[in-house]
Structure 1
Amino acid sequence: MTQPGSPSILSRLEPAIDRRPLTVEPSLSLADAIAIMAKAQSSCTAPSLNLPLEIALKNQARASVVWVVEGSQLVGQFTEQEALAAIASGRDLSGMALADGMGEIALAVNPADLPDSFAVLALLRQQQLRHLPMVDEQGHFSGMATIETLRAALQLDHLLKALPLADAMLAPGLQAPATAAIAAVAQQMVATGQDSVMLWGEAEANPQWVGLLLAQDVLQLEMLGLDLNRTQAQAVMRPTLPNFAPEEKVLVAYWHMQQQQAQRCLVMQAAGDLAGQVTFTSFLTTLDLDLLRGVELELQESIQTFANRPSPKASDPLSGATASPDGIEGLREQLESSQLLAAMAMHIRESLQISEILQTAVDEVRQFLQTERVLIYRFNPDMSGTVVVESVADGWQPALNSTVRDACFGKNYAHAYKEGRTQVVDDIYTAGLTQCHIDILVIYDVRASLVVPILQGDHLWGLLCAYHCSAPKHWRTFEVELLKQLATHIAIAIQQSELYEQIQSELAERKRAEEQLKSSLREKEALIKEIHHRVKNNLQIISSVLRLQSDFVRDKKVMALFNDSQNRIRSMALIHEKLYQSRDLLRISMAEYVQDLAHNLLSSYVASSQRIQLQIQAESIWLNIDTAIPCGLIINELVSNALKHAFPDPHRSDNHVWVTMRQRKEGDFTLIVRDNGIGLPTGLDFKNTESLGLELVCIFTEQLEGSIELADSEGTQFVVTFNEIGDLARDT
């Protein structure tokens, strides 16, 4: 067994070696060599390939150098720096052999002589190399190691989670105006040995960083045959880089860079000054080697310890073994699992509060599984998501309400989860996860994970996640089955809760609509009342004008006409006044109206009022305004005629006028106006007379689509039958 701390427990060297470097012959032209590098860069950075981070970094490093080989012997290298020097020279590169522009090999090593990846890293840092070629015992070229290949081989995520950007950043590097010619920028890159230039768009004294130009971009333009002396850097620069404060954690910055597909970020001071830049590999060149080695050693020891643990015995409850104590313990755990599921089902039946159900579920699952974190993660339509409920042990960073936009998920995992996939990971570092996925998990201290989908039909609602943070963890079969069944119960609870919320929302919406309708009705009622009030006022003004005008009239007949006109206007104004005062804006109480109208008429004939008795008999009848106005005018004319003409003898005291109104059947009414006076002249046809009042009575009766008859009786008796008219009457 390997002793803890021995070199062999550290990362093996093989993952840090790229066995497929670009190789060419020395007779190749410089132009062709640059074209090979440019094409390799184009293919490895194509967004459509959706490459994982570690693969993309390795491919970009591979494209940054071509190795010049004769037979199997390494004779030179042609890096981006040599390519930039050739381009900056302005010579015709198509006529120059690669052998004339390649660089010498500073150092080549045999992998067998290197104990681990950290030995490679030490050589790269000591020799200030970007590429370290590998040769075998016979000197044959076999591959290369770079900072990028080491990044993929070393698992340092727990270190990066706590490491501030200030400890991992590089110097700000080369800077130039965005308007500078690319040829001039390339010459600066050659002179300083830099592979990137940050571009500003304003005055140099107060630079506003607008983009980035990389050496590989210059190679691309050279391959396309563009005139680099006439092309400004801003025409091809990469977009503005994301920027962070120096105290931000490296792993958080990396995750944001991955989402924005940015190769590096800027570190900015609070005052807006540029402090430095960070790439995905810069920490490997800035941090202490012993620190890096210690973190990797700790991780590998924990992996080895976990691997050396005895595997679960056949006493697992799902295996059916029950004879041993382990089998009894397994049955007990299986019973507890069943009880947990039964309790969950009970919670669903007893409550429609989804937050309460989910919180209870994660709390009980975490306690049952004896793990540090259990959470439920809900997806948005764009496959980003939020931690909506969580149970976490003391001492671990809460993840509740955290929002994650993980581009890797949609590409690599979403489809599988929609088909019901369950992810069981005993250790994230040995499970073959993509680097971007590991980066996300490490932010939340995840070391082992058990994840099951929460499905609503074909819709992926979210994930139920059990995480172990302190060490690797072996998930047993019955634990996996428990989470699967629990996810089904949760899906049911969510569906019931969403249905309940939908019903409550519809009820609330209906209530809001009713309140809005009531409010609208109240507003309309107020408006209609205001209209009736204004109409009544206007009619009273007209009546007052007629009265004032009558003060200048000396002819009694003309005076009588003025008085009759006033009474007619008052009869209409009285209807609007009644409607204004009534709670029912559509109908008027005829009992009250007839009483008030008849007594108003009686009081208008002062002399007559002293010797004429008015008797009103009106049932509780309600008419709409279209019917009430002509009906009121008929009453006005017939009562006025009786008061003016039925009792010529001033000494007679037994004078009576009766007004009776009743309903014969639904919508069918009878109006009777009778007096015990002298009666109409013999032979008078009231329907064909020069009397304006009687003519109006006939006109209004026709308007009501009714009939009027003169009945035989002592005095005069008119009987008017009519139906209620208007849209409201037809609706009822």
Structure 2
Amino acid sequence: MKAEEKKHTQLLTIVHKITHRIISILELQKLLQATVTDIQKHLGYYNVTLLLLNKETNELGRQAMAGAYAEIAPLDYHQKVGEGLIGWVAQTGESLLVNDVQSDPRYLVGFGKTVPTRSELCVPIKLEGEVIAVLDVQEPQVNGFTKNDLKILETLAEQIAVAIKNAEYYEKLQTEIRERVKTEQALRKSLEEKEILLKEMHHRVKNNLNMISSIINMERNRVPGTATDRILSNIQNRIKAIGLIHQNLYTGKHIDRVSVKTYCEELIRQIQLSFSPALIQIEKSIEDMDLPIHLALPCGLLLTELLTNALKYAFPEKRTGKIFIQFKKISSSAKEPYVELLVKDNGIGLPKHVSWKNPESMGFRLIHALSQQLHGALRIQSKHGTECGIRFPLKTKPK
């Protein structure tokens, strides 16, 4: 009895060792081959084969083999469900121990060659009650197996089923990951192509606006110092404000947002150059933030109008003075962030006959229209110079 108990303990140790190894393998083919190799090596069977069931063809196909027949059995060997001992097990879902295959009419030599098999043991591998594979072992002598062998292989079959399920799930996840990566790469490529296209579009728009500005400049040279020249100059500055937006979009990091600080500082520099007011000092306090195109463009046009008006009218007769420009984000009590653009000067202020609430000039009408486009609140006061502020919600949607 002690010898049998010792042998039983050794077998349990072997089963545990095989189980521990196979459940750690997640690639299906490696799992199947490791399973038959370990069973053949540790339990000493003559030949071990594992065949997976293909439900579509109703056939069992060789997936892994170890032992005497590994070299002679074709790699694409398959057997129909119901044919031979293996097929019978797949069909019935029951284990089968035949200790003399020559006396069993179900026995089938599937390779088309003579093999020395005399005993065969087949065990179904099931998942949720359905056969998914068959584990087959063979011996060259009669009475090659005992009921103990049957119990060991049935125990292993349960663990193999779990390992196959894990491997198939892992393989499915890997396939999904590969498909997702492939899709993401395709999307990334598409986005990169669209980004290049958009940048090229912004570049061409900027070039076209530059061409229009150049044509206007030619016309201004024909009528210098006249009312027409002043009108064309205002139009030219507005075109520059729009063109600068497109320049920032094709040279910046983003194709849908503009750096306010970079944009405003360059816009101020260009407007200064067009007036060359040596006696007027401009101070700036511009917060570094990004604005979407539908907000940045009207902001740029507003800044152009307000700064142009200050440079043209606040300091007549070559007076000295200061213009202060502020652009900042403000948090309100409603927790909805606002942005405020402020332009103020210490010049002579607005003429008494000018009403900014009922504007007649093109500049003031444009300021009103742009403020409404931003859903902003416009305020203008003229006590010690002129101060104009526009506060608008940062989440203003494009019209």
TM-score, normalization by structure 2: 0.87
- Match of 2:125, SS state, is strand
Contact 2:126–2:161, Cα closer than 8 Å, also in 1? yes
Distance 1:444 1:601, change over 3 A: farther
Deviations 1:476-526 (A, max 9, x none): 221222222221221122122223333344444444444444334333333
Name the structure 1 match of 2:65: 390
Counterpart CA distance in 1 for 2:184 and 2:254 is 20
Name the structure 1 match of 2:297: 629
Deviates more, 1:525-534 or 1:539-548: 525-534
Counterpart CA distance in 1 for 2:14 and 2:295 is 74
Contact 2:31–2:164, Cα closer than 8 Å, also in 1? no
- Match of 1:722, SS state, is strand
Residue 359 (structure 1) aligned with residue 33 (structure 2): yes
Residue 683 (structure 1) aligned with residue 353 (structure 2): yes
Counterpart CA distance in 2 for 1:541 and 1:358 is 72
- The equivalent position to 1:662 in structure 2, one of 291, 311, 328, is 328
Deviations 1:2-29 (A, max 9, x none): xxxxxxxxxxxxxxxxxxxxxxxxxxxx
Deviations 1:388-428 (A, max 9, x none): 111123x8743262332537539x97575354312222333
Contact 2:282–2:322, Cα closer than 8 Å, also in 1? yes
Counterpart CA distance in 2 for 1:405 and 1:432 is 16
Counterpart CA distance in 2 for 1:701 and 1:728 is 13
Residue 464 (structure 1) aligned with residue 135 (structure 2): yes
- The equivalent position to 1:453 in structure 2, one of 124, 146, 154, is 124
- The equivalent position to 2:203 in structure 1, one of 533, 536, 543, is 533
- The equivalent position to 1:431 in structure 2, one of 82, 104, 107, is 104
Counterpart CA distance in 1 for 2:114 and 2:209 is 81
Contact 1:675–1:717, Cα closer than 8 Å, also in 2? yes
Name the structure 2 match of 1:644: 312
Contact 1:687–1:695, Cα closer than 8 Å, also in 2? no
Contact 1:358–1:389, Cα closer than 8 Å, also in 2? yes
List alignment gaps of at least 5 residues for structure 1.
Answer: 1-321, 323-327
Residue 521 (structure 1) aligned with residue 191 (structure 2): yes
Deviations 1:544-596 (A, max 9, x none): 22222333335711111111111101001111111222213332222222211
- The equivalent position to 1:477 in structure 2, one of 144, 147, 155, is 147
Distance 1:575 1:414, change over 3 A: same
Deviations 1:595-636 (A, max 9, x none): 111121110123xx2222222221223321111111111111
Counterpart CA distance in 1 for 2:398 and 2:348 is 41
Name the structure 2 match of 1:443: 113
Contact 1:424–1:451, Cα closer than 8 Å, also in 2? yes
Distance 1:345 1:471, change over 3 A: closer
Name the structure 2 match of 1:710: 380
Distance 1:713 1:589, change over 3 A: farther
Distance 1:329 1:639, change over 3 A: same
Distance 1:597 1:344, change over 3 A: same
- Match of 1:604, SS state, is helix
> Which of the pair has the greater relative contact order for Cα pairs under 8 Å at 6+ separation?
2
Distance 1:715 1:363, change over 3 A: closer
Distance 1:367 1:621, change over 3 A: closer
Counterpart CA distance in 1 for 2:45 and 2:298 is 87
Counterpart CA distance in 2 for 1:664 and 1:476 is 85
Counterpart CA distance in 1 for 2:117 and 2:86 is 18
Name the structure 2 match of 1:701: 371
Contact 1:662–1:671, Cα closer than 8 Å, also in 2? yes
Name the structure 1 match of 2:282: 614
Distance 1:460 1:398, change over 3 A: same
Contact 2:77–2:111, Cα closer than 8 Å, also in 1? no
Contact 2:374–2:396, Cα closer than 8 Å, also in 1? no
- Match of 1:610, SS state, is coil
4+ long deviations beyond 6 Å: none
Deviations 1:350-373 (A, max 9, x none): 443554544343234334554431
Counterpart CA distance in 1 for 2:92 and 2:103 is 24
Counterpart CA distance in 1 for 2:45 and 2:303 is 92
- The equivalent position to 1:600 in structure 2, one of 270, 294, 314, is 270
Contact 1:446–1:467, Cα closer than 8 Å, also in 2? no
Deviations 1:225-255 (A, max 9, x none): xxxxxxxxxxxxxxxxxxxxxxxxxxxxxxx
Name the structure 2 match of 1:82: none
Distance 1:396 1:611, change over 3 A: closer
Residue 581 (structure 1) aligned with residue 251 (structure 2): yes
Deviations 1:671-722 (A, max 9, x none): 2212222222113212334321111111111111122222133222222222
Q: Structure 1: which amino acid aligns with 2:162?
A: I
Contact 1:372–1:467, Cα closer than 8 Å, also in 2? yes
- Match of 2:326, SS state, is strand
Counterpart CA distance in 1 for 2:48 and 2:177 is 35
Distance 1:389 1:727, change over 3 A: farther
Counterpart CA distance in 1 for 2:109 and 2:65 is 20
Contact 1:638–1:694, Cα closer than 8 Å, also in 2? no
Alignment of 1:248-259 (within 5 A): none
Counterpart CA distance in 2 for 1:706 and 1:367 is 82
Name the structure 1 match of 2:239: 569
| TM-align CA RMSD | 2.9
Q: Give the superposition deviation at 1:446.
A: 5.4
- Match of 2:101, SS state, is coil
- Match of 1:339, SS state, is helix
Residue 372 (structure 1) aligned with residue 43 (structure 2): no
Contact 1:373–1:392, Cα closer than 8 Å, also in 2? yes
Q: Structure 2: which amino acid aligns with 1:612?
A: I
Residue 692 (structure 1) aligned with residue 365 (structure 2): no
Distance 1:667 1:484, change over 3 A: same
Contact 2:50–2:135, Cα closer than 8 Å, also in 1? yes
Alignment of 1:173-184 (within 5 A): none
Identity of aligned residues (%): 28
Counterpart CA distance in 1 for 2:245 and 2:70 is 79
Counterpart CA distance in 2 for 1:407 and 1:482 is 24
Distance 1:685 1:371, change over 3 A: closer
Counterpart CA distance in 1 for 2:330 and 2:81 is 82
Name the structure 2 match of 1:493: 163
Rg larger in 1 or in 2?
1
Name the structure 2 match of 1:347: 21
Paired residues, number = 393
TM-score, normalization by structure 1: 0.50
Name the structure 2 match of 1:24: none
- Match of 2:317, SS state, is coil
